[in-house]
Amino acid sequence: MAPASKRILLGIAGLLVLLLVFTSAIFVWTIAPLGTRYIAKRMCSGVFVAERAPESVWKSELRSGSFGYPPSFGYEIDEANKRVTASWNGMAVSTVAFRPALGCTPVPEGEKLAAAPGSEHRVGYAEPFAFPPRIAASPALAPALDWAFSDPKLRTRAVLVVHRGRLVAERYAKGFDQDTPQMGWSMTKSVGNALIGTLVEAGSLRLDQDHLFPEWEDTERAAITVEQLLQMSSGLAWDESYDNPYGDALQMLFGSDDAARVALGKELRYPPGEVFEYSSGTSNLLGLLLKRTLMAATIEPLHYPQRALFGPLGMRTAVLEPDPRGTLVLSSFSYASGRDWARFGLLYLNDGVAGDRRILPEGWAARACAPAAADASYGEHFWRDVSREGDPDLPSDTCHAAGHDGQYVTIVRSRELVVVRLGLT
């Protein structure tokens, strides 16, 4: 080989090595940390919130779940301190810690999470929707339950049917039961609707309220209202795609220590109120608004869900997890048992009343499930039509809290019906 040709080949080889090193560095510093934080978060919540075996969480959620992580990703569990640390080949290390009543939260590098607020902030749990030990089973529903659990690809974990206040069907997959908290993913958005509703009922917020954040003053974003945030028509630019590691949604959930800050810095793409654009960032703006409103009233935000919602409903297993900055992640991070998700659905079936106590403003539940101004398939952090193509077999007043991997709390007021479906589809 001629010396000139050899030099060219060596130069090309050198460039390829540099490119490989550069690409690896990008992966280690930008993409791998998303994966390790996701692993640590799912493992922590699965083990310490849902009380499942680590091997089960790794096999079902992480090795064969939505992302399918290879063995180069690993984790360690500190049982004594209730922490999970994940890494990629020993690099891109992420740690997530469990706190009682608050679930699991990432621990920023070089920082410590504040201790959970004390028991003086908590309240007892009522039992307005106490289900009897033995359900009033309906034989007619058995074939439907058989179908839901027959296909292993569906990975159904729980199905419950409540009709006219009676639990008429309930079934769980192996390893799950009536006390197992299961992740809600975007059903958390509907929980956020309820929490905002409690502030409206208390007179602390209005649906037409604007000028929501000081960071938006002197900009067109100051015109965005609470109702527009609930209806996903804020007009803020947002990328909800989950196949782009640099997209807004993944960066917000697993790349940022401040979930609301990502959306807070977005500019307007459309005039507020005119265009529907599904945005998990919008839900976390509501979480920030919730936190700041409560803090202004000297109310502890982190235990507010238990005081104002889960406690009155008797949702003893429910947990709403915050980010490292103390903002509840209203887009995604909630856990509750199948029965507690059914209790949540019953709140909306019963016009926001639990027992003899009004939790939500009169008409709030109907409003949440009414067509949004910018898109009739959506309501206010509830879906009216999850397929967005229409389903003539369902009553027109069907309303869903819906989440990733096939989580549903379906409410049909005209049939006095709540259906819960949880799984990993």
Q: Which two tokens stand for residue 108?
A: 């920023």
Q: Indicate whether 180 and 105 sit together in one domain.
A: no
Write down the number of H helices and E strands in the chain.
13, 14
Segments forming the whole domain that contains residue 360: 139-207+299-423
Domain total in the chain: 2
DSSP-derived letter for residue 139 is G
Q: What are phi and psi of 265, to 5 degrees?
A: -90, 0
The single-letter code of the amino acid at 35 is G
pTM for the whole structure: 0.91
CA distance 319 to 411: 21
Beta bridge partners of 162: 167, 418
- Would 130 be classed as within a structural domain? no
Q: Indicate whether 22 and 158 sit together in one domain.
A: no
- Would 382 be classed as within a structural domain? yes
Q: Indicate whether 181 and 305 sit together in one domain.
A: yes
Q: Indicate whether 318 and 198 sit together in one domain.
A: yes
- Would 288 be classed as within a structural domain? no
Average pLDDT of the residues in 362-385: 98
- Would 71 be classed as within a structural domain? yes
Q: What confidence tens digit (pLDDT) does each residue in 27-52 have?
A: 445 689 999 999 999 999 999 999 99
Q: Indicate whether 49 and 159 sit together in one domain.
A: no
Band of residue 24 on the pLDDT scale cut at 50, 70, 90 = very low
Q: Indicate whether 318 and 415 sit together in one domain.
A: yes
Query: Alpha-carbon Rg of the chain, whole angstroms?
Result: 23
Q: Indicate whether 87 and 180 sit together in one domain.
A: no
Q: Indicate whether 311 and 414 sit together in one domain.
A: yes
pLDDT at 18 over 50: no
Instruction: Give the angle subtended at the CA of 311 by the CAs of 307 and 315, to the nearest 5°.
Output: 140
- Would 22 be classed as within a structural domain? yes
- Would 225 be classed as within a structural domain? no
- Would 18 be classed as within a structural domain? yes
Q: Indicate whether 74 and 200 sit together in one domain.
A: no
Q: Indicate whether 69 and 194 sit together in one domain.
A: no
Band of residue 25 on the pLDDT scale cut at 50, 70, 90 = very low
Q: What confidence tens digit (pLDDT) does each residue in 258-305 have?
A: 999 999 999 999 999 999 999 999 999 999 999 999 999 999 999 999
Q: Indicate whether 308 and 415 sit together in one domain.
A: yes
CA nearest neighbour of 171 among 187, 153, 148, 151: 148
The single-letter code of the amino acid at 268 is L
- Would 236 be classed as within a structural domain? no
Residue 309 sits in a domain of what CATH number?
3.40.710.10
CA nearest neighbour of 193 among 389, 39, 411, 34: 411
Q: Indicate whether 316 and 184 sit together in one domain.
A: yes
CA distance 33 to 27: 8
